[in-house]
Every structure is written in C-alpha cells, then in structure tokens.
A and B are shown apart, each in its own frame.
Chain A
Amino acid sequence: EDQVTQSPEALRLQEGESSSLNCSYTVSGLRGLFWYRQDPGKGPEFLFTLYSAGEEKEKERLKATLTKKESFLHITAPKPEDSATYLCAVPNDYKLSFGAGTTVTVRA
C-alpha cells in the first residue's frame, strides 16, 4: 500500500521566517506528486505537480522540490496570508493518496 507522510503536523512561523515542509512517500512507479493548499471551510487548491527527481516548481513565496523519496515545500519570507494547511498527494492506482497535511500559521 502506498504511503504518504507529512511533517511536521503543525508549523508556527513569524512573518518573514522561512521554513520547509516535508512529504515522504513510498510508491512503486511514481506518476507525479501534487501539492495542494487548503483553507478552513474550502476545498484543496492545486499548487504544483512534480514528476521527476530533481524537478523544482515555484509560485510566489512557495517552491516545491522532489527527490526519489520525498518532496519539500519551501516557504520563503512567509506572510500571514500563507497560513493554511498544505497537503501532498500521490496517485495510487486511479485515486489520490493524501498525506495528513501540515498546518502553517504565520504571525504578523
């Protein structure tokens, strides 16, 4: 059974304090790794897809990277509006297996 594990479970940051979130996976034949952002009471919002080790994607203050065993989501100089739960997911047969998420809180 494919497994997706995210750490830490929660992250409290001061505005401007950069940090990284981890997503480790065990999957046979990776067919992509997806990062989503979920705000309270909303659906997951797609952020990035990574397909191969060494690949990097950037969007504003977020950068996602991928190795053969894990992915990192780097948040550079975060702002309060970056507060959310960040989810990673991998295709598992014909469905997505989600990690439990990292809840990020950025204080002004």
Chain B
Amino acid sequence: GEEVAQTPKHLVRGEGQKAKLYCAPIKGHSYVFWYQQVLKNEFKFLISFQNENVFDETGMPKERFSAKCLPNSPCSLEIQATKLEDSAVYFCASSQQGHGSEAFFGQGTRLTVV
C-alpha cells in the first residue's frame, strides 16, 4: 500500500494480559521500525527489521516484548504480561533504505494498560 497501516488504533489490556499490535509497511520498503511514544513527544526506539530479519533490537525489553516481520504477513509487536508502564502510543515506520532515507510512520496504536 501507499501508507503504513497500523491496527488496532486503540487497545486496552488489563495488567498481565497479552497485547499484539500489527503493522503493514509501505509496499517496496525493506525496513520496518517500531517506536514507543510515552511522554508527549519522546520517541523511544524499540526494534528494526530489514525484510524479515531483525536489524537492531537494542531498544527492546526482551523479557516481555517480541516482534516479527514474516513474508506476506503484517509485522507484529507482542507484549506478554503487560505492565502499567507499557501504556503508550506505538508507532511503526517503514523506509526503503534504512534510516539513511526517509521513514514514513503509521498512525499509531494507543495501548492503555489498566
């Protein structure tokens, strides 16, 4: 598609429940990135993929977060056993050539953990 599509738009989970977020990158883009926006404008990098391979996962809290980008499927970000501090907006972005080229962002998924 011509834009990055994220679903769902909103997600509410009880503490300890699982949350799964989806992202369809722009067709032809090889790189996918996940960011977490907690405070008003603070973006925290989580993970990036080059096609289906993890490129950089230095921002991921690995004990509860996992992510995949499989061929012919939307990419996914999964949080096991959510905590209150996971409440945030999660953005997916895609680009043609990694972060040396423009990254286009989806509209985000707002996760609220109660």
Which residues in chain A, 61-108, are within 8 Å of chain B measured between CB atoms?
85, 87, 89, 91, 93-96, 98-101
Q: Is chain A's interface secondary structure helix, strand, loop, or mixed overall?
A: strand
Instruction: Look across to chain A and name the residue whose beta carbon is closest to the beta carbon of B31.
Output: A94
CA distance A46 to B106 in the complex (A): 11
Instruction: Report if B22 contacts A (CB, 8 A).
Output: no
Given the interface pairs A43-B91, A93-B56, the reply to whether A98 lies near B99 with Cβ below 8 Å is: no
Instruction: Report if B65 contacts A (CB, 8 A).
Output: no
Which residues in chain A, 22-51, are within 8 Å of chain B measured between CB atoms?
31-32, 34, 36, 38, 42-46, 49
Which among B11-19, B40-48, B66-74, B78-86 touches the partner chain? B40-48
Number of A-B contacts (CB under 8 A): 61
CB-CB < 8 A to B48: which residues of A? 94-95
CA distance A98 to B93 in the complex (A): 14
CA distance A96 to B4 in the complex (A): 17
CA distance A66 to B93 in the complex (A): 24
CB distance from A57 to the nearest CB of B (A): 12
Residue with the highest number of chain A CB atoms closer than 10 Å, among B56, B93, B101, B103: B103
CA distance A98 to B43 in the complex (A): 6
Q: Which of B33, B41, B101, B107 contacts A95 (CB 8 A)?
A: B33
CA distance A38 to B104 in the complex (A): 12
Instruction: Report if B52 contacts A (CB, 8 A).
Output: no
CB distance from A28 to the nearest CB of B (A): 15
Residue with the highest number of chain A CB atoms closer than 10 Å, among B4, B33, B99, B100: B99
Provide 25 A-B residue pairs closer than 8 Å at the C-beta atoms, listed in order of the A residue: A31-B99, A32-B99, A34-B102, A34-B103, A38-B41, A42-B108, A43-B105, A43-B107, A43-B108, A44-B105, A45-B105, A46-B102, A46-B104, A89-B43, A93-B56, A94-B55, A94-B56, A94-B99, A95-B45, A96-B35, A96-B43, A96-B45, A98-B43, A99-B41, A101-B41
Identify the A interface with B (CB < 8 A).
31-32, 34, 36, 38, 42-46, 49, 85, 87, 89, 91, 93-96, 98-101
